[in-house]
Copies of this chain bind each other. A is one copy, B any other.
Amino acid sequence: MTQHLAKIALTDMQAELRDQAMRFCADKSPIAKVRSLLTDDHGFDAAVWAEMAALGWLGIAIPEDYEGLGLELADLVPVVEAMGKHLMHSPFVSTTLAAQAILAGGSDAQTALWLPKLASGTVATVALFEPTGAWDLNAVEGQTKTFVMDLDASELIVTTVKFEGQTRLALIPRDRITARRETIIDEMKRSYTFEVPDVTESDLMPAKDAVTALERIELVANLLQAAELSGAAMACIDYTVDYLKTRKQFGKVIGAFQALKHPTVDAFVDAEGARSLLYAAATHCEKQGEGEIAVRMANAKAEGALSFAADRSIQFHGGFGFTYDCDAQLYRRKAMFAASQFGDAAFHRARLAELLL
C-alpha cells in the first residue's frame, strides 16, 4: 500500500549537493558562530548568505527560465539537512517558500519580476499564520499575522489575505509593513508579527491558483522542516554520544551505563528512520496525493526523533545539561518550535489517518 513510497532515488546531483552543503555548513557554522548569532538582529550572517546565493542554492528549485538551476524539490533536501545538522539559520527556507508560492500561484508578471530576484539572493518570506493558532492555511480570518520568519531581512512578504470573502495570496513589499519581533522558543530563528495592510487586486496572485499555491507551500514547508529536524537529530545524537564517551562519574565513563546507552541507541534508531523517511519523501514528494503522505510521515518522524533525542540529551548531560551553555537546549528548542509550525507530529498523524485509512 505504501511500500513503494519507501523506495529512495538519489541523483548524483543530490549526492554532490549533499557533500557540498555539509562541507559548507560545517565550515560556516561552527557552534561558536551559531551561539554568537543568537543575539544578532537577523540571526544570520549576510556574507554567508551571499555565498549561498553565489553557489546557486537559492535557485535550486526555480526553473532556468527564471534564472534558477531548474532542479527539483528533492534537491533542496540535502542542503536543508546540512543546515539542520550544523544549526545554521538563514532565510533559505523562508525565501524558498516564497519562491515556491509564487511559482505555483503567481501571475506571469509576478513570476517574471520576483523569481529571478529570489534566485539570486533577494530575501523573502511567507506570512501564513494567525493568532487563532490554526494550522490550516486556508483559515484566514483577520489581519494579524504571526510567526513570520525573517521578515525584517526580507524585501518581499507573500501573505494570505481574505479578499472579497476569498482566501488569496498577496505580495507585499517590506516597506509597506510595520512589524514587531516576537520572542520565540528557538533563539536561532527570527519571527515577526504584523498587520496586513489593505491590499488591492494588483497586490494579489490570481484567485484561481490560491489553493494550489497554499498546498505547495505546505508541502515544501513540511519537507524542508523534516530535512532540518532530521539533520539536527543526527547532530544532537553525535553531541550526546561525545559526552557519554568522555564524561566520568563513579570512576566510569558514563556511556557504559545502560541507563544512558540504551535510550541513546533508541534515539539513534529513531533518527536513522527519520533520515530514511526524509529521502523517501524527497523521492516521492512531487507525486500527486502520495507526496503529501511521504512528506508528513517524514516530518512527524523527524520531529519525534529530535524531540526525544534532545530531551534525553539534556537529561544525560546532567547538571551541564541544565545550563544554557549545553547545546542540548538548542536542539530541544528547535524541535519545540518546529512542532508549533505547520502542525506537530500528532497533527500530521491525524492528517495521515485521513489519507491512509
Contacts and interface: CB of A to CB of B under 8 A. Distances in A.
**What secondary structure prevails in chain A residues at the interface with B?**
helix
Contacts of A262: 258-259
- Copies per assembly: 2
Interface in A158-211: none
Interface in A253-279: 257-259, 262
A257 B262 CA distance: 11
Contacts of A257: 258
A23 B197 CA distance: 79
- Size bin of chain A's contact surface: under 10
Contacts of A258: 257-259, 262
A201 B66 CA distance: 85
Contacts of A259: 258-259, 262
A250 to B, nearest CB: 13
A259 B258 CA distance: 6
Nearest to A263: B262
Interface in A14-50: none
A262 B262 CA distance: 11
A257 to B, nearest CB: 6
A334 to B, nearest CB: 28
Interface in A230-262: 257-259, 262
A262 B257 CA distance: 11
Nearest to A260: B258
A225 B3 CA distance: 42
A98 B67 CA distance: 81
A258 B264 CA distance: 14
A81 B96 CA distance: 63
A50 B116 CA distance: 91
A58 B259 CA distance: 48
A29 to B, nearest CB: 36
Nearest to A257: B258
A291 to B, nearest CB: 32
A259 B257 CA distance: 9
Interface string A278-303: 00000000000000000000000000
A47 to B, nearest CB: 48
A259 to B, nearest CB: 4
A322 to B, nearest CB: 21
A210 to B, nearest CB: 37
A231 B114 CA distance: 70
A255 to B, nearest CB: 12
A259 B259 CA distance: 6
A257 B259 CA distance: 9
A197 to B, nearest CB: 41
A259 B262 CA distance: 7
A232 B54 CA distance: 68
A15 B336 CA distance: 49
A83 to B, nearest CB: 36
A330 B201 CA distance: 72
Interface in A45-96: none
Nearest 4 A/B pairs, CB to CB: A258-B258, A258-B259, A259-B262, A257-B258
6 contacts: A257-B258, A258-B258, A258-B259, A258-B262, A259-B259, A259-B262
